[in-house]
Structure 1
Amino acid sequence: MPNDVGSQWNAAELVEAAREHLISPAEEMAKLGTVTRPMLTTGDGVYVTNAQGRRLLDGPAGMWCTQIGYNRREIADAISAQALRLSYNSPWYSVNGPSAELAARIASLTPGDLDHVFFTTGGSSAVDSALRFVQFYNNVLGRPDKKTILCRIDGYHGSTHLTAACSGRAGNRPNFDLALDTVSFLSAPNVYRRPKGMTEADFLEFLIGEFEDRVAAIGPDRIGAFLAEPLLASGGILIPPEGYHRRILDICRRHDILYISDEVVTGFGRCGHWFASEAVFGITPDIITFAKGVTSGYVPLGGFALSDAVLARVSGENAKGSFYTNGYTYSGHPVSCAAALANIEVIERDGILAHVRDIAPYFQEQIRSLKQLPLVGDTRGTGLVACVECVTDPAAPEATDFDKEVSRRIDHHCYELGLIVRPIGNMCVLSPPLVITKAEIDSLIAILRRSIVLTQDELRAEGRWS
């Protein structure tokens, strides 16, 4: 029987093909060829269905990206129509209508004077291209040494060599040669894991002081950019103390350091606004990177928006004969841009941003209710993104291997009960589609609560925790 994804192979044959031939991201090589990840076949709204016919609430919205949910005819029709009209053009020699229109639409949505847009293929290439612009920018300005990138421990920015080198998540670094002299890591703004006895206000001062000291130690004439997610997503939904971004932006302005806000996760509605930098965190950066939600995950697309003031320093009469030669075969792909335009139209027409702002307090309240459970050390979040951090020993300064095992058990129970969560270390991360309803939030929370309780009961029965 043909599989319902359109293949002539049945589900069992597809699972076997994946086992024998497919290498997935973050593949555990010891298990290569012996196990395979769950195969999903269909999606509708906030739900997906696996090859066994089980319906699952998609807690992470794919990978932070299916903003308007699955099975939206508007996006499918836009993709089909554009593919039939013009499926491709070389961005090196021509432009297409959807990319021009989308650039203008995004420019109208970004804060301040971020009015020029460069398109890429996804989040990694978006951040990589922004960082390459920093190199280009300072070379044209005659500052070849102003190239150091300040990043943060637990930050994540992509899988190209340059973006991976800027990603401070320890789990992404083993067995890769990622050390670069031009990358310098600062402390994660992890309020939950701040030094014992330190108030949140004191922690903010520590972080700002560390930033100022690092700038002084390296030298502002050697620092090109500060690269920061508004909230550290893959690092565990780490939300910096109030005022953190504004104060660091002020330091960057004083020293002519470009501020790159990596909104690959937070852009296009995740926090109830098109972008979170200004609306949520009170800053207008020099560059904003985006991907994921720009097409609601229907097709790949990414890019960055750039300040007019910054661009003016290296364009027109200031260009000095330079070319920003960074680019991709699929930059501004017409089908992807058509999908993004349709996605933006749906978000506007259906009032999805207002819906997120309306429902997010309820979502966060329900997430916080889980903190009453003994295994839960912390809950945190904003908008429709949240983290439940599981801790077996509250006195431990950092997550233990046992904590991580607990998270994996919770993840397993959730899947069996009909919910996908994203386990990151000892954390259960949730970022559901933006169209989720209160009833669906109640279902999500009920399954997650039940899974945590089941895990608690198992550990006690095994005599491993009390």
Structure 2
Amino acid sequence: MPQLSNSLHVRDVASLVHPQTNLRKHVESGPRIFTRGEGIHVYDDAGKKYLEAAAGLWCASLGFGNERLAKVAYNQMRDIGYYHIYRHASHGPAIELAEKLLEIAPVPMSKVVFQCSGSEANDTAVKLVWYYWNAVGKPQKKKIIARMASYHGSTCASVSLTGKPEMHADFNLPFPNFLHTEFPHYYRFAAEGETEEQYSARMAAALEQLILKEGPETIAAFWAEPVMGAGGAVLPPAGYFKRIQDVLRKYDILFVADEVICGFGRTGNMWGSQTFDMQPDMISCAKALSAGLIPISALLINERVFQAMLTESDRQGSFAHGYTYAGHPVAAAVALETLKIYDELGIVDHVRRMEKPFLAGLHSLRDHPLVGSAEGIGLIGGIEIVQDKASRKPFPAEQQIPTKIDAKIRERGVILRLIGNRLAFSPPLIIDEAQIGDMFDRIGDALREFR
């Protein structure tokens, strides 16, 4: 094993399992330790400063080291640092946060169910989909359709939704009744001469064919992220969600929007559902709900779903679902304050102003011979690394060219998200124009080494 730089590295290798990590490589090389953050930057234990252009895991919307939110958490801990919301008990922060979320929801919603993570929010939505159809007398509606390359979480149900086979391998997943339709990645999979609208029509037709093959009477719900984050920050092609929703309405299939990444300003609206004219029955959200500073998530449900929940709760005697830390008062207080900060900063308007320089910088990378596509919206986007632009042919996996490009970018003090052949951008929403210019200057310098 190589010599590790300090005792923290040694203790990490001895004691800690890291998610989404090559465990053998980690044991051999150890981690990079990050020690503090300030604004849009983080610092490692060697003192190196990085522009965190991935906002951690898409979530540090207000950057790092927010003293105001720290004080809110401290004050709430001193007041009532924990209480549950089981069996008719409640507390102010959870009630106020639920009211605020319903107030800003992109479509009319009736109630809020709190959890601790985006995975749990989607997991809860799966249960409520089945609960709903049982309540209305259609228990045969059990199958759920998501999309290849989608990501909806890591619990057993939410990872079954997830359309990434590497996350299923040897975990005996996905569970039965979880199906996947096409990954709507226009750049990668469109036919020669096919417009985005034509491609969207083909994607909707493929979904309908899957529904008919399985039997419409068995299909319970369809899941979709407005922008496919872990798919590589892939935007939907023009007309996609209109056509998809036409199919869902035709066969009476519930629609769940996974807003875990896109919610709270990321796409230039408060919700990605507004950006792409989605009309979901349920909305899962997390990450930027608390600016990533404390674990909390929420599932918003419409009146149709809630009325069925009332019926089934009457039948069963109670709504037998919940989490110990659901609506935790400290997490709820921090989330409430986060939403206040968004209002004070005019965060949606700020994202819209920053979209122009962000997209200009992103599109400037298209001139590089290895960048096949570069697209985004708001403050989220991605570039695809290819060996040949004309054919869109990727590099052989063993050459690890995207990995090497990502490493060079990190050497220049910028952290992006590497996803297969794509590099994804999702900087903190507080980033300014000068910082955007600096970010793309450094990335451009790194890419020039690969001409």
Q: Same fold (TM over 0.5)?
A: yes
Say if 1:363 and 1:117 are closer, same or farther in 2 by CA, change over 3 A.
same
Secondary structure of the residue that 1:237 maps to in structure 2?
Answer: coil
**Mapping 1:152-167, distance limit 5 Å:** 152-167=147-162
Deviations along 1:131-159, one digit per CA (max 9) or x if unpaired, are: 11111111222222101001101101000
1:48 to 29, 42, 46: 42
Say if 1:175 and 1:399 are closer, same or farther in 2 by CA, change over 3 A.
farther
Consecutive unaligned residues of structure 2, counting only runs of 5 or more, are none
The match for 1:271 is 267
TM-score (norm 2): 0.95
**Distance in 2, Cα, partners of 1:46 & 1:100:** 31
Deviations along 1:51-71, one digit per CA (max 9) or x if unpaired, are: 000110001001111111112
Secondary structure of the residue that 1:320 maps to in structure 2?
Answer: helix
Deviations along 1:154-209, one digit per CA (max 9) or x if unpaired, are: 10100001111111123323222113330111101100012431332321111111
Contact 1:390 1:403 (8 Å CA) reproduced: no
The match for 2:326 is 331
Consecutive unaligned residues of structure 1, counting only runs of 5 or more, are 1-10, 457-466
**Mapping 1:54-453, distance limit 5 Å:** 54-93=48-87, 94-197=89-192, 198-277=194-273, 279-315=274-310, 319-321=314-316, 323-394=318-389, 399-402=394-397, 405-453=400-448
Contact 1:375 1:390 (8 Å CA) reproduced: yes
Matched residue type, 2:263: G
**Distance in 2, Cα, partners of 1:319 & 1:257:** 24
TM-score (norm 1): 0.92
Q: Give the share of equivalent positions with the same residue, in percent.
A: 31
Q: Give the deviation of 1:440 after TM superposition.
A: 0.4
Secondary structure of the residue that 1:428 maps to in structure 2?
Answer: strand
Secondary structure of the residue that 1:43 maps to in structure 2?
Answer: strand
Structure 1 runs of 4+ aligned residues shifted over 4 Å read 316-319, 395-398
Contact 2:234 2:381 (8 Å CA) reproduced: no
The match for 2:12 is 18
Q: Give the deviation of 1:293 after TM superposition.
A: 0.3
**Distance in 2, Cα, partners of 1:177 & 1:314:** 31
**Distance in 2, Cα, partners of 1:172 & 1:312:** 35
Say if 1:185 and 1:316 are closer, same or farther in 2 by CA, change over 3 A.
closer
Secondary structure of the residue that 1:34 maps to in structure 2?
Answer: helix
In the comparison of the two structures, how many residue pairs are matched? 446
Matched residue type, 1:248: I
Secondary structure of the residue that 2:448 maps to in structure 1?
Answer: helix
Matched residue type, 2:31: R
Say if 1:317 and 1:61 are closer, same or farther in 2 by CA, change over 3 A.
closer
Deviations along 1:383-431, one digit per CA (max 9) or x if unpaired, are: 1011011111346666444487111111111111111111111111110
Q: Give the deviation of 1:450 after TM superposition.
A: 1.1
**Distance in 1, Cα, partners of 2:418 & 2:69:** 29
CA RMSD for the aligned pairs?
Answer: 1.9
